A and B are shown apart, each in its own frame.
Chain A
Amino acid sequence: MIGRKCCLGSWNLVLRLIFWGYLSWGFCGETPTGWGQVPRIDNPVLQLKQRVVKIYGSGGVRGLEAYQSGIIVSENGWVLTVWSHVLDTDRLRVVLDDGRTYVARLHQYNPRSELAILRVDDQSLPHFDLTRGAVPNVGSSVYVGSNLFGVATGDEAVSVMRGVVAAIAPLDARRGQFEIPYRDTVVILDVITNNPGAAGGAIIDARGNLIGLVGKEVQCRRTGTWLNFGYLLEQIGPEVRELIEGAPLKTTSAGKPGEPWTLELLGVRLIPAIVHRTPPYVDGVKMGSRAAEAGLLADDLIIEVDGKVVAAIDDLLRVLEGLGRDSSLRITVQRGGEFKTLQLRGR
């Protein structure tokens, strides 16, 4: 009985907190805003407008968007976003709210968290200070800025939404049939933020402090509900710094040493490349082959070969062409919700 009462009480508390969070935007400045006046919420929104960028890259076919969002995290050109097919191009563009356009380079990414860092060439950008992030509470009011649906073009600012932190909990999600490997604590919002192109957008509190980064479109693994989640800055901060400090990704292979590896030699059969940029899923592995020896299994998704990202079958074939069969291969695969790195012997 007591337990039940407690339970009701705590719900009441949550609701009240939500209520206060909802009203708090009107009280975040020095003086309360009167009804009908121009609201002073401009400022946090201005932060979003200047610091959230539009990213344009590959895609644009078969329902794959060629755009997403990112946030500027340093004045000297580091842009934080999420890893996706959009980044898989040499012609990556980052556009600011005033129309300034930069050619961007993928600097580093982490396939587990799906965070990615881009670099643009500028030394004086408006940016979010990663060391001054805020930790939200359930019920806090937030603003979210993102390039959802690609509606903001040219010198238009990204779209802004307002919502409330509905939960702070570990992520347990899937995209289609595949589990999302990221299981850390995330923020769940009550507003539909995770739309096409929104991933990489910023979540800020009513004072303009960065709380987190909008995630991709995912569904709850158990219920199938679309989740509007964001990475928490306090969780990803150290990793973002590691990515920035990491060596730049090698993008080009240096010639073709000896005879290249082929899929046949490795003993790997991939699923047929039926659509443009079909991801390299393993369909079968030949018994006794190098691949079988190393433990590659059917249904594995090949993500990296010798440190090079392979997002599609084309990429994989191109990378293999650049690798001599005399040397061993390091292949990273996604298997269910996990990542595994396998070593394949050279000849």
Chain B
Amino acid sequence: MWAGIVFTLTSTLFGQKIDLPSELVTEEQDRIAVIARASQATVCVFDRNGEGGGSGVLVSPEGFALTNFHVVQPCGKFMKCGLNDGRLYDAVVVGVDPTGDVALIKLFGRDDFPVAPWGDSDQVVVGEPCFAVGNPFLLAHDFQPTVTWGIVSGINRYQYPDGGILEYADSIQTDAAINPGNSGGPLFNRAGEVIGINGRGSFEKRGRVNVGVGYAVSINQIKRFYSLLKGGRIVDHATLGATVRGRAGDEVRVSNLLETSDAYRQGLRFDDRLVKFAEREVSSTNQFKNILGTYPREFRVPLEVERDGELIRMIVELAGVNDPQVLDDLVHGDATPRDSENGESTDDDMDELARFFERRIGFANYFFNRRERERVWSGFVGARDVTQLAGKWQIDGNSGLGGSQFLLDDAKSGLKTPTMIELFEDRGAQTALESSGPESRWLAGMHLIRRLIFRGPERFGDLTYGGVFPLPERKMNCEVLTGTLGSVSVRFYFSQNLARLECVEIDDLSERRTSRLWLSGERTDQLWPLSSEMEFEIENGPRQRFNQILLDVANQKQETPQR
């Protein structure tokens, strides 16, 4: 370096051209290339009148782009997006996360949009370089985004709710300039991978302009919500149903607990010390809030606590932070006049897009949920003609009680064990659940599977695409279809390649008892879409499981289809 400076000094004094070290030239060239790629994937978001707006980043070639909820919200259902190719594209809102200030939109007009690669925000270290791309002060009339360079100033920052429900947990702090209009735009690491979505800053007396303190929602948080957003949902963040308090010596203990929470049902108790949450060590209340704040509602996560020297492990389903109706009102309640029923825009381009929007309570745009549900279902069923499976199902198995047999057809569902016979008319799973024995729950599970296979998601009843949820027992993530029938709620967990149905989870909403039907083994038959083995598990109160029975479906007999 000193040699370089001396050289620079000399060459400056004598007015000569200087040769830079080749590493520097390469580094600069690489940086220019990375920034050029990053700029291509950055979106300038405008409302339909081209007045308000912000930034965004494309994450899929078919046009899905991430931005902030507070950027999308004033735009209504549709927006205009400029890319650095100089063109303006139409876009529609897909899913929103009002608490985490994230939104997913979809651009139309190409199927080869330039895409920014996802980074891993857990690997981000303080001091590493990063850069923000976006449209500060909406000054890019030609949609060439602005690039600002800086370093990561802080990680795992928790920003308290700002009067409303907005909460930034586990966010990345940077001194790269984040100004109004940068909102929703990407924060990149030096390799050009997205590590966060810029959305907030600390401002002071100098007004709403950068003072070197901007915050980005970490991309790893967004990864957990991404499939839910893609399913058109208004997503919610999670709470444990318990409050914790930090004590001396890095202890975080349960200080209050809702008895209606799943955490309580799974055995969490007052004064338990949190050891691990979602496989991450818990060292302070702040850090716990940080981790918790990045999880979606209804995720089931492993929890490890210590009580009287004993380590206790449980899997807990997280509850939602906000009332779903409140979220829905927030998203749809104060729709801008141009989006209201009688004030439809006269913009012809937008009217063409109207078919890409479907209103339903709890969803930002139900159109995309329908699409995702169809993708999962057709992926699972594949080319099979499931109508051939109509007629009677007979599944023989060896339960702990001895030989058992399921018999299901269009009219009735029955289960025969050495000690008893259960038989139900096809009035739904609710009937089966209303009777007391565990066997009836197995029957309910089989009944719901059969109903899904024959009716398909459209005619199943109320069945929507849930998103990608963890299945901690199997240490995997699954595509989930979720539905309700009467007082029964059901979730079908499919492997992410959609090859297998892994688990059917049945919740009796009135009793809050969960039963799970586990499927394992290979899919042996070309026609039969399920795996060869099933295992039933019923929760009957905190941490008590009983009657796990393996049923062998390998010798299931298939009768001639009746239709």
Contact = CB atoms under 8 A, between A and B. Distances in A.
Interface of A: 9, 12-13, 16-17, 20, 23-24, 26-28, 32, 35-36, 38-39, 41-42, 44-45, 49, 99, 143, 148-149, 151-162, 191-193, 195-196, 226
Given A27-B1, A155-B287, A12 B211 contact: no
A39 B128 contact: yes
A125 to B, nearest CB: 19
B154 A159 contact: yes
A28 B30 CA distance: 20
Interface in B124-162: 125-129, 150-154, 156-159
Contacts of B23: 32
A162 B4 CA distance: 22
Contact of A160 (B27, B127, B159): B127
Contacts of A155: 283-284, 286-287
In this complex, the member of B153, B173, B175 whose beta carbon has the largest number of chain A beta carbons within 10 angstroms is B153
Interface in B217-271: 246, 250
B165 interface: no
Contact of A35 (B27, B127, B210, B287): B27
B153 A159 contact: yes
24 contacts: A20-B8, A26-B27, A35-B27, A36-B190, A38-B128, A45-B126, A45-B127, A99-B284, A148-B202, A151-B154, A152-B154, A154-B246, A154-B284, A154-B285, A155-B283, A156-B156, A156-B157, A157-B126, A159-B153, A159-B173, A160-B152, A161-B151, A162-B151, A195-B211
Contacts of B5: 17, 20
B387 interface: no
Contact of A148 (B12, B26, B206, B213): B213
Contacts of B30: 35-36
B285 A161 contact: no
Contact of B212 (A36, A39, A99, A193): A193
Q: Which among A9, A24, A159 has the highest number of chain B CB atoms within 10 Å?
A: A159
B24 interface: yes
B173 A151 contact: yes
Task: Give the 8 A-B residue pairs with the shortest CB-CB distance, closest first.
Answer: A45-B127, A192-B212, A154-B286, A149-B202, A161-B175, A159-B153, A35-B30, A192-B211
Contact of B24 (A23, A38, A192): A23
Nearest to B24: A23
Contacts of B210: 192
Interface string B280-324: 000111110000000000000000000000000000000000000
B128 A195 contact: no
Contact of B250 (A9, A99, A160): A99
Nearest to A146: B153
A141 B150 CA distance: 13
B166 interface: no
Interface centre among B26, B27, B191, B287 (most CB of A within 10 A): B27
Interface in B320-373: none
Contacts of A99: 250, 283-284
Contacts of A41: 127-128, 151
A195 B287 CA distance: 25
B31 interface: yes
B51 interface: no
A99 B251 CA distance: 12
B177 to A, nearest CB: 9
A193 B212 CA distance: 8
Given A16-B9, A156-B286, A162-B150, 18 more contacts: A9-B12, A13-B12, A17-B8, A28-B1, A38-B128, A39-B127, A41-B151, A45-B127, A151-B159, A151-B173, A151-B202, A152-B154, A154-B287, A159-B154, A160-B154, A162-B175, A193-B212, A195-B212
B473 interface: no
Contacts of A26: 27
A20 B190 contact: no
A223 to B, nearest CB: 15
A153 B13 contact: no
Contacts of A13: 9, 12
Contact of A12 (B12, B159, B285): B12
B204 interface: yes
A174 B152 CA distance: 31
A151 B286 CA distance: 12
A40 B175 CA distance: 19
Contact of B158 (A28, A35, A149, A153): A153
Contacts of A24: 1
Given A9-B12, A35-B190, A36-B191, A196 B204 contact: yes
A34 B413 CA distance: 66
| Residue picked from A32, A195, A226, most chain B C-beta under 10 Å | A195
Nearest to B123: A38
A191 B173 contact: no
Contacts of A160: 126-127, 151-154, 175
A203 to B, nearest CB: 14
B123 to A, nearest CB: 8
B175 A42 contact: no
B215 to A, nearest CB: 8
Contacts of A38: 125, 128
Nearest to B211: A192
Contacts of A20: 1, 4-5, 8
Nearest to A28: B1
B151 A149 contact: no
Contacts of B156: 156
A161 B153 contact: yes
A22 B484 CA distance: 60
A307 to B, nearest CB: 34
A41 B129 CA distance: 9
A33 to B, nearest CB: 9
A202 B36 CA distance: 35
A42 B12 contact: no
Contacts of B212: 161, 191-193, 195
A26 B20 CA distance: 14
Contacts of B213: 148-149, 151, 159, 195
B192 to A, nearest CB: 9
Nearest to B1: A27
